A and B are shown apart, each in its own frame.
Chain A
Amino acid sequence: MKGWLFQHIKVMQFTLRRLRTTPVASLLNIVVIGIALSLPTGGYILLQNVQQLSRQLVGTPQISVFLSMNASQDEIAAIGKQLQQHPVVARIEFVPREQALQQLQKSTGLSDVVGGLSQNPLPHAYIVYPKTSDAREQEKLRDELRTWPRLEHVQLDSEWARKLDALLKFGRLAVLILAALLSFALIAITFNTIRLQILTQRDEIEVAKLIGASNGFIRRPFLYFGLVQGLLGGAAAWLIIAISLALLNISLADMAQLYASNFSLHHLSIGDSLTLLVFSAYLGWLGALLSVAQHLWQIEPR
């Protein structure tokens, strides 16, 4: 067991030394892998951030119920009571048309336009907070309310979020395809690097085979190399993304001030970061394995 461990440590040291002996080539390889991985990972992070933002904005979804202009006070009160008693409704809020107009005047800077109106064009409205956070339940409630009399318009405010979700789903698929393609590129890069290494180490491999090295022994340093190169590539991708996010956040901070929000892009979670590293290391290992399987058997001592 100790001997086995020692052997692996020895191979690991050997691998790191080999990376160091060709610093430029190694660095270029790692950077290329890093860039290839950072594209889909960056896309993933953007989607993640957009999704988080949309959740923040939606908060608890609400249904705006606009009443008909010709509804009488009694009818309005009756509708309020009915809404309050509905099993899916948590609470309601009444917005009189005068208040709505004032709000419009204050919030949009259209006071001139609004002030110029001869009469208030806005209806009375109820804001309904559903008990359920399930989008389908909310839609069911909306559709039910639409059948009620004396209601002009019923609008579920989270509808745009649903549309965004669909868009995000599309985005995720695009990122997935990109990830698959670039993973393949990573495997190809490692495959080629290892192929070159095998060719330059022909003599050593041949001698090792002559003095009784098993295929496992000969393969091991190449597999380690692929693994380490993939791992470092993954780390490079992580760094590239970290730096890009830091730069983006600086300019976002300016923008966010204008919009009076404190939105900033979040980096990968620890779990996602680990997944990235493990995945890139695995791809490197796989590329090395394929290359070794393809090229090593061609070198037989004669």
Chain B
Amino acid sequence: MIRFNQVYKRYPGGYAALKNLSFDIAEGEMAFLTGHSGAGKSTLLKLIAAIERPSSGSVLVNGQNIGALKLGAVPYLRRNLGLIFQDHKLLFDRNLFDNVMLPLQIVGFDHRESARRVRAALDKVGLLKREKANPISLSGGEQQRLCIARAIVNRPTILLADEPTGNLDAESANDIMDIFKSFHQVGVTLLISTHDESVLRQYQSRTLTLKQGELQS
């Protein structure tokens, strides 16, 4: 599903964020990505979502080569990915419902069907009762759950989460992880970056550890 082959990422000025990465994540796998801050976790996720391009090597997502992707094709790649951000990236000028609606609007989905899907996604993360609220009124954990609802509403095959439990207390973090587990059970491929040791211990999934841009085995 996701394949890195001798990937390097250098930024202008010569700084190498990622060095010689090679790994595979199979369809339906749930994998963790860990390492100190600055180890390159976010950069790795950005490469998968074509927010960044590899300097050398190849990144294959769903069989598409990110390095060779045309600019116009990037939106269509991202529609198959669910992106979950540490800072949520919610829009505070509209209510919960409309926030989750956005990905379906972009695709031009049928209105009635998309309303149904939005409610299902909100229900999944336990926010259905507050669909009319403004996201600013939500707690950090709830905002993160809303971000997840938005990421899953168009039923992506791959979910990428960048430090989804980074700023949350243990209980909220557990809620989030439970939601991820349920997606794993229905066959979604997940890659979750975290530096939370307790989360890693709890799950017996594969863990990719980055250290200064290199993969530790």
Binding site for B on A (CB under 8 A): 2-4, 6-7, 10, 203-204, 206-215, 217, 300-302
Question: Do A211 and B83 have beta carbons less than 8 Å apart?
Answer: yes
Question: Do B91 and A213 have beta carbons less than 8 Å apart?
Answer: no
- Among the 9-residue stretches B25-33, B102-110, B168-176, B201-209, the one with 4 or more Cβ atoms under 8 Å from chain A is B102-110
Question: Do B105 and A7 have beta carbons less than 8 Å apart?
Answer: yes
Question: Do B105 and A204 have beta carbons less than 8 Å apart?
Answer: no
Given A214-B72, A302-B51, A208-B89 contact (CB < 8 Å): no
Question: Do A212 and B89 have beta carbons less than 8 Å apart?
Answer: no
- Report the separation of the CA atoms of residues A206 and B107 in the bound assembly, to the nearest whole angstrom: 16
Question: Do A217 and B111 have beta carbons less than 8 Å apart?
Answer: no
CB-defined contacts of A4 to chain B, threshold 8 Å:
108
Shortest CB distance A9–B (Å): 10
Return 27 A-B CB contacts under 8 Å, by A number: A2-B110, A3-B109, A3-B111, A4-B108, A6-B111, A7-B108, A203-B91, A206-B89, A207-B89, A207-B90, A207-B91, A207-B102, A208-B102, A208-B106, A210-B51, A210-B83, A210-B85, A211-B79, A211-B106, A211-B150, A212-B78, A212-B81, A212-B103, A212-B106, A214-B72, A214-B106, A302-B51
CB-defined contacts of B111 to chain A, threshold 8 Å:
3, 6
Task: Verify if B75 is at the interface (C-beta below 8 Å from A).
Answer: yes
Other than the given A213-B75, A301-B51, A302-B51, 16 more pairs (CB < 8 A) read: A3-B108, A6-B111, A7-B108, A203-B91, A208-B102, A208-B106, A209-B75, A211-B78, A211-B79, A211-B106, A212-B76, A214-B72, A214-B75, A215-B75, A217-B106, A300-B51
Shortest CB distance A102–B (Å): 84
Q: Which of B93, B102, B108 contacts A211 (CB 8 A)?
A: B102
CB-defined contacts of A3 to chain B, threshold 8 Å:
108-111
Shortest CB distance B35–A (Å): 20
Most buried by B among A2, A204, A210, A212: A212
CB-defined contacts of B121 to chain A, threshold 8 Å:
none
- Total A-B residue pairs with C-beta atoms closer than 8 Å? 57
Question: Do A210 and B89 have beta carbons less than 8 Å apart?
Answer: yes
CB-defined contacts of B49 to chain A, threshold 8 Å:
210
Shortest CB distance B110–A (Å): 6
Shortest CB distance B101–A (Å): 10
Nearest 6 pairs of A and B residues by beta carbon:
A212-B78, A212-B79, A213-B106, A214-B75, A212-B75, A211-B103
Closest A residue, CB atoms, query B114: A3
CB-defined contacts of A300 to chain B, threshold 8 Å:
51
Closest A residue, CB atoms, query B99: A207
Interface string of B68-88 (1 = CB under 8 A from A): 000010011111010101000
CB-defined contacts of B108 to chain A, threshold 8 Å:
3-4, 7
- Report the separation of the CA atoms of residues A119 and B77 in the bound assembly, to the nearest whole angstrom: 103
Shortest CB distance A279–B (Å): 31
Shortest CB distance B149–A (Å): 12
- Report the separation of the CA atoms of residues A40 and B49 in the bound assembly, to the nearest whole angstrom: 52
- Report the separation of the CA atoms of residues A300 and B78 in the bound assembly, to the nearest whole angstrom: 14
> Which of B137-194 touch A at CB < 8 Å?
150-151
Shortest CB distance A296–B (Å): 12
- Report the separation of the CA atoms of residues A209 and B79 in the bound assembly, to the nearest whole angstrom: 10
CB-defined contacts of A217 to chain B, threshold 8 Å:
106
- Report the separation of the CA atoms of residues A252 and B150 in the bound assembly, to the nearest whole angstrom: 66
Shortest CB distance B109–A (Å): 7
- Report the separation of the CA atoms of residues A215 and B77 in the bound assembly, to the nearest whole angstrom: 14
- Report the separation of the CA atoms of residues A212 and B106 in the bound assembly, to the nearest whole angstrom: 7
Shortest CB distance B169–A (Å): 26
Closest A residue, CB atoms, query B103: A211
Shortest CB distance B154–A (Å): 8
CB-defined contacts of B150 to chain A, threshold 8 Å:
211
Interface string of B29-48 (1 = CB under 8 A from A): 00000000000000000100
CB-defined contacts of A213 to chain B, threshold 8 Å:
75, 106
Shortest CB distance A99–B (Å): 83
CB-defined contacts of A203 to chain B, threshold 8 Å:
89, 91
- Report the separation of the CA atoms of residues A213 and B151 in the bound assembly, to the nearest whole angstrom: 13
- Report the separation of the CA atoms of residues A203 and B102 in the bound assembly, to the nearest whole angstrom: 13
Closest B residue, CB atoms, query A201: B93
CB-defined contacts of A302 to chain B, threshold 8 Å:
46, 51
CB-defined contacts of B91 to chain A, threshold 8 Å:
203-204, 207
Question: Do B79 and A10 have beta carbons less than 8 Å apart?
Answer: no
CB-defined contacts of A215 to chain B, threshold 8 Å:
72, 75
- Report the separation of the CA atoms of residues A143 and B108 in the bound assembly, to the nearest whole angstrom: 74
